[in-house]
Structure 1
């Protein structure tokens, strides 16, 4: 598998999954179930997962696939793997708030190297190109022909007036206490992996996550941010956030534009 082969496939699958998700989102009602970890799952999660998984397995049969909605994949391990969250931000979807995304990423030797984040209700799509640089695409989102591609880059932060973005559904007291360690000019909440993309485009300077996430929640956004010059580090010791961990669970982390003076946990 080459990056040149990978990017058109994951871009197209993200768009196709987005169409399926929006078809269900715009319906009068949809089914919501509760998984064993007490998190919600909808028919949109399952339909998007089936579409993306079939597409990736057909295109790249030799690559390990880890996906949120297939529990059997969570016990598999490999140095190189594709990782998918077919609908990141299920609570945003259920509450019809729009901040949900399709996430598809490639991880190599512990690092997300390529990825796509598509927010169908927001009409925004971000991905890494084959050369590793990240872009935002605008236009009609044709499945086969990319629209206008704008290379994105992180901000040059002013530590006396930072813009912080945090989780919309999980913004708790611990998060507020950490944010208050910075001098901020503004703060906003956003759902799903869009928070990584807001840092990647320079719309925010730092995104701290003091709460539970899984690797499929973060890998695609991490890849997009890295391709825009950003970084993602562990909350506790500021070492790089790595992937392929046991159970695919993340520690707390901070995503940021270089130049942000990170505060201690």
Structure 2
């Protein structure tokens, strides 16, 4: 059920019931995961190229159709932005739902497993609720109705949440940091920046799982010096927020905001608060 309220300037602000939001996003992520895995486990699937030269598969389209229909039915008054529907990219709002139905398509195509379903709710430019589901890894992360981040352990029931464990960022040791970086988009600039830190362990991961590894304390720092869009990051950002972490712009270390024109992100850093950030 949607609600509304009036802001200080008298304009109507849209809000949602967080209990309903959490339930709907979780269920849709699991349902989309089933659709994706059916295609992933098939003998072959068609890969096409979008106008921006990025790959897309039938799994992207099928998951997007399922999630979009579910969100529009549950929250008809909330603007919806989704990667696979170009017309939605013209939406101008600072409170909206945002979806990447299959983040990590390159990982999906290579059958490496590090792909996720991402659904998030952005309120006043901040991703406040989100779900990240990695169906091949059987890992499910989301924000509770109260905004705290949890990981649910399977097997997963689509209608009823199972046992959850609260997740929280690690107390980082700046003399021995745990760093995670992109598996498919690693470059020299990223390596040069990571080289500014004292690193005890370095790992690679695909898709929005990198945010979740920081959220669970499996990593302390995730720098991204490459192109991303808001639908790539919003859900993971929400989970990390709920675990006590932060995401800031790479250039000036101000908070990464959402609802930008075109939904393109600047370079950014996701991290546990104890990390002493280095300048660009």
Q: Give the TM-score range, shorter chain.
A: over 0.9
The aligned residue for residue 159 of structure 2 is: 144
Alignment TM-score, normalising by the size of structure 1: 1.00
- Segments of 5+ residues of structure 1 without an aligned counterpart are none
The aligned residue for residue 224 of structure 2 is: 209
- Equivalent residue for 1:179, pick from 184, 189, 194: 194
Alignment TM-score, normalising by the size of structure 2: 0.94
The aligned residue for residue 244 of structure 2 is: 229
Give the C-alpha shift of residue 139 in structure 1: 2.1
- Equivalent residue for 2:182, pick from 155, 167, 170: 167
In the alignment, the residues of structure 1 paired with residue 193 and residue 17 of structure 2 have an alpha-carbon distance, to the nearest angstrom, of 40
- Equivalent residue for 1:127, pick from 114, 138, 142: 142
Give the C-alpha shift of residue 78 in structure 1: 1.1
Q: Secondary structure at the match of 1:10?
A: helix
In the alignment, the residues of structure 1 paired with residue 146 and residue 163 of structure 2 have an alpha-carbon distance, to the nearest angstrom, of 17
Residue deviations 1:176-224, cap 9 Å, x none? 0000000000101100000000000000000000000000000000000
The aligned residue for residue 115 of structure 1 is: 130
The aligned residue for residue 45 of structure 1 is: 60
5 Å-filtered alignment, 1:183-202, equals 183-202=198-217
The aligned residue for residue 61 of structure 1 is: 76
Q: Secondary structure at the match of 1:144?
A: coil
Give the C-alpha shift of residue 77 in structure 1: 1.0
In the alignment, the residues of structure 2 paired with residue 113 and residue 179 of structure 1 have an alpha-carbon distance, to the nearest angstrom, of 28
In the alignment, the residues of structure 2 paired with residue 178 and residue 36 of structure 1 have an alpha-carbon distance, to the nearest angstrom, of 31
- Equivalent residue for 1:26, pick from 41, 60, 73: 41
1:12 aligns with 2:27: yes
1:252 aligns with 2:246: no
Runs of at least 4 residues of structure 1 off by over 4 A? none
In the alignment, the residues of structure 1 paired with residue 243 and residue 139 of structure 2 have an alpha-carbon distance, to the nearest angstrom, of 16
- Equivalent residue for 1:157, pick from 164, 168, 172: 172
Give the C-alpha shift of residue 79 in structure 1: 2.1
In the alignment, the residues of structure 2 paired with residue 100 and residue 8 of structure 1 have an alpha-carbon distance, to the nearest angstrom, of 22
Q: Secondary structure at the match of 1:55?
A: helix
- Equivalent residue for 1:70, pick from 82, 85, 102: 85
In the alignment, the residues of structure 2 paired with residue 53 and residue 4 of structure 1 have an alpha-carbon distance, to the nearest angstrom, of 19
